[in-house]
Each structure stands twice: as structure tokens, then as C-alpha cells.
Chains A and B, each alone.
With several copies, the nearest count.
Chain A
């Protein structure tokens, strides 16, 4: 089985197979390696990479979230055979969302503007505070979907991005 895994804007192609003693895998066509993976509960595995012991908690239900060596990561895991589906539903970082229900206070960009990753593009009032929303990557504003004063649901989309031409 193959997965395309995106983490921190880096994409990895992993070939992984189950064996009698665990799993073998190769990242980006590299050397095949072995890992022992024991299920502890519905959201926890004990992994052994060679002799390195890593205890992970994870949730693959909505986002692919994992807690690995003291840190939380959110990843995108894709089956490349279904890549077309991904393209249709939008590439990663193609929209700016509000994580919480709230109200749009300001939109700081217009359609066609070029933005850089981390640039504040809008502010939303939620939980009695103003929260700045940043562009998830470099790009061009493809559409502005809301106006100041609009109410937003959790994960509501404010803007969409397209690649820099």
C-alpha cells in the first residue's frame, strides 16, 4: 500500500506493508525498514523502529492527528490512486477558515491580491476576542466568500486561495 503524507508542507510517499512481525516501509523510494506496531487501545499504538520505542496517540477520524515524542502533528494522508478526488475537493491550504463560530470583523485582502504565508488576511471575533487569520501558504486570493459582520460557523470558510501564477 502507498500513502502520500503531507506534514509541514513537505510531501512524503510511503510504501508500507504488513508482515508477520509488524510492518515494512520505505519512504520516498528509500531503503526498506521494519517497524513493530502493537495496538494498545482504539487510539494508541506502541511502535518500535529498530530499537527506538515510540508511544503514539492518534486520531485519523477527521484530521489525521498524532502525538509523537512530546509533540502534536496534524497531517494529510492520501491514497495516491485517488489523487483526482483530492484535486477536485481542493488542495491543502487552499482556503482560510475560522476554527470557531464567530463574526467577521475585517477582511484585509481583495480578490486577486498576492499574499504570503503567515500574512494576516482577516480578523474574526470569537469567544470575546479578536482573532487574526493567516494565509496558510503563499498564493493569490481566488475569492472572498464573506463580508464584515457575517456570522461564521465553526470551520467556516472566509477566503480561497489559488497558486501564484
Chain B
């Protein structure tokens, strides 16, 4: 064993870069940030020991430029690279180049990334490994007739999916026979336009499915443990919005089976490091492999909170060749953790992005609350990257306690200058269906969104008085010339909806 890295380059930005650097600093490891031209003042640059500009704002010219990042690694003398999530984290070619440069890649071997990167290949591998998959072929289907015959055999509803797909592109649900052929043709054409590859396959549509995923951690010595599950069924446009652990409806025997299957899946690709196996969970507790994410997940903090394991520290240790310091028996799922992804988005307006300057930014605090953030008061949410502002993660002795704490924390958040999804979360935490724990990935229907973003028109008179007082205070302290300009200015007005 050659010991831990001395200096880690974090090939990412935002909250995940900050979070990774914190673990590095705790291990006494120096950190190198890379940044694009608009990110000079970003929190991850401020947090790092060294920082290098790698190009203009668009990701394709900065955070996705593997060559520039390897340059920086060489120049800075970094001996390892942590990719975070997104960007280059699941790029097997980049991982290989990192290894070829003699650096430690804090992630699985390129082979595992590749094997799990293609839906068709990963599905075939999982079937071979005895992992349950959603009924349906993994082979690309070329003719409408073949599609029809497969779908009829399987029974409706079915899903048509693009082999190279993601983010809902090239995906169609078909609930009866006569809809199949038009949907098949549309999916192929969309897949071709989106991915340059028109391969599609058909699988059984699971009714009222939940998205439940299992965190695994594997060292280079063949040990694989699981860190229990996360339920990520609250989604909009196939993007996770709220995650919780444990899954409120998972039966103990299903948990045992699902986590065992997850370990099987990881072993099937000789997995190393932290990874996540995503499943669909049916109403009858049947579950089916969806895909594997060969990197740290956005929602990893809820697993850290219920298990006490620092996943980033564990990633660094196993990538350095250390054996896992704990066994499966040491791991417990204690209490309940929930994460809300606070986005610069207007939930009431079809999640329209709301970039801008954070005129005020105060995070909640107190017992069992964690805020992972890449922003600060005065920083800007730009249009160039994912508009996530921060992740609010809370822990409670049980689900009800965690929800109570979340409500309190959401009320303590103070963000001005942009619209955020906080009002949506505040409404969600009072929603009877969410509180029941019985929901599925279709939870956020248009109707539910309308309920959760319903406009409360009542105005507190003290709020009106507060505005008048602050305006007067400002007028009294400003020079007349400035205050004149202030008053003549036309202002857009609305209340944040919830």
C-alpha cells in the first residue's frame, strides 16, 4: 500500500467539489480546484489550496476538457483525481487517461464504467449475474412488427426506451396495442436525433413504481458492502427532487434481498469504490434493476447520515488500495434522513430556471441539519451549469421527526435575488400523500403540482408595515439624488408562490 494521495485534483465545481475538498482536508490532503472563467469567485475555488482556470464558461470548454484537467494535474503535482458527479465522472475514456498518466482515479476501473454505461450491455450483464431486470428484451428492436409481437407477448403497459438514452429522451409509454407502432417510430426518431443512435428496446411498464437505489462500496481486495437504500421517487421530468433513507415502504425481507442483489451486481463488474444500483420497486415489493451509477450520487449525504460513513473518505481510502475498515455487520441504518435539492427554479412556473445574484443567503442551522452548498451571499447562479443552490439534508430519530426538522429548517432558509424550490418543499412537507410515505415516481402530477404551488393571497399587515419601514429607513439614509432614482424605478412584483 502506497498510502493516501498527497494532493487531489477535484475535477468538478459547486457543492460536490466543496464537499469532496472538506473530506480531503480532514485527511490532511491538499486540494486543487479547476474552474471556468465565470467561476473565479466560486466557493470551490475559495475552498481549495490551489486553483487553475481551464477555460470559458461552457462545460464543453472547461469542466469537460479532460486534456486541460490532466495538464493541471501535472502542473500542480496532484497524484489523484476525484471527478465528483456529472461532467467526466462516468467517462471511461477519461478515467483510463488518468490511470495512464500514473494518477489515482477515485472511482471504479474504466471497465466497470463502460460495462454499466450502456443500458443494453449492463442489462445483459445483470441478467447473466442473476439480477432481476424489468421483463423485456435488451436487444435493440429494428422492425415495428417485432416490436408489436414482443409487446403483445409481454402484456401492456410497456415502455419503449432508447439504448443510449437518458433524461427521458427517446422514451415512450404505451398502454394499448394500437398505440405501439406510432410510439415505436417516434421513439426511434427521437433517439436518433438526441443520441445519434436509433436503437430502442421494449420493457414491461411497472405500475406505480418507486425508485429505490442501493449504495455499495467495494475495495480492491474483493470486499463489497452495501449501505442500505435510498428512495428517490419524488421526481419531476425524471429528475430527483427529494430523497429519503430508509424507503418508507420497503419490507425488511425485500431490503435484505435487494441489498444482496446490489452486491451481486457490483461483483459482476468487479466494482471498486462507491456506486449505486438503481431499482424499480413494484407495489408488490418486486424489484427490477434499472441501472448502475458508477460514481458518487448527489443524494449520498442521506446515506452518510443514517450509516455514519463518510463516503468520500471511503472513496479516497479504497482508491488508495486500503481495505474497507468496516464489515457489513458493522453497518446499521439508524434513524431517518431526507434531502431536498434546493434549486434556483420556480416550481410554480413549470420549474423555470431562475438564475441571478444571491442578494441574501442564510442557511438553516442546528441539531442534525447539514447543508451542502456551493454558493454564498453575493455569489451568482449562472445559466451555464446545473441551477442547484444547495442540498438541505436532515436527520431524525424517525421519519416524522425528520420531516418536522425539515420544515423548521426550510423556514430558516433565507434566500433573496432568485426564486428557489423552497416554497415547493414547504408545501410538500404538509402534503398528506407525502406524509403517508405511500407514493411513487408519478407523484408529481400536474394536479399535485397545482396543489403544491397554490397561491396564498393573504397578506400579513406586519409585512406591509415592514416594507414601509425599510423603505423609509433607506430613504432617510440615502442621498436625495439616489433616493429619487430609487422611487421612479419601475418594479416587477409578485409573491413567491407555494
A residues whose Cβ falls under 8 Å from a Cβ of B: 1, 3, 5-8, 10, 12, 14, 16-18, 23, 25, 27, 33, 35-41, 43-49, 51-79, 82, 85-86, 89-90, 92-93, 97, 99-101, 126-127, 129, 131-132, 134, 136, 154
Contacts and interface: CB of A to CB of B under 8 A. Distances in A.
Interface stretch (B320-328, B412-420, B430-438): B412-420
Interface stretch (B197-205, B331-339, B453-461): B453-461
Contacts of A61: 359
B473 A74 contact: no
Given A1-B475, A101-B383, A53 B45 contact: yes
A38 B476 CA distance: 14
Interface residues of B, number: 74
Contact of A65 (B49, B411, B417): B417
A104 to B, nearest CB: 15
B470 interface: yes
A25 B417 contact: no
**Chain A: interface secondary structure?**
strand
A51 B40 contact: no
A46 B475 contact: no
B44 to A, nearest CB: 10
A77 B491 contact: yes
B101 interface: no
A55 B51 CA distance: 12
Contacts of B488: 82, 85-86, 89
B465 A41 contact: no
B273 interface: no
Contact of B491 (A17, A64, A134): A64
B354 A77 contact: no
B378 interface: yes
B350 to A, nearest CB: 5
A46 B488 CA distance: 28
B487 A53 contact: no
Given A38-B40, A46-B40, A74-B492, A25 B33 contact: no
Given A3-B471, A131-B352, A134-B349, A8 B495 contact: yes
B105 to A, nearest CB: 22
A72 B348 CA distance: 14
Contacts of A66: 416, 463, 466-467, 470
B392 interface: no
Given A71-B423, A101-B383, A56 B493 contact: no
A55 to B, nearest CB: 4
B426 interface: yes
A89 B490 contact: yes
A18 B472 contact: yes
Given A45-B470, A70-B411, A72-B415, A51 B463 contact: no
A127 B387 contact: yes
Nearest to A53: B51
Given A16-B471, A35-B466, 19 more contacts: A8-B459, A14-B464, A27-B461, A35-B469, A43-B360, A46-B41, A51-B52, A51-B76, A53-B49, A56-B470, A57-B360, A58-B360, A63-B491, A65-B359, A66-B466, A77-B491, A85-B487, A90-B490, A126-B383
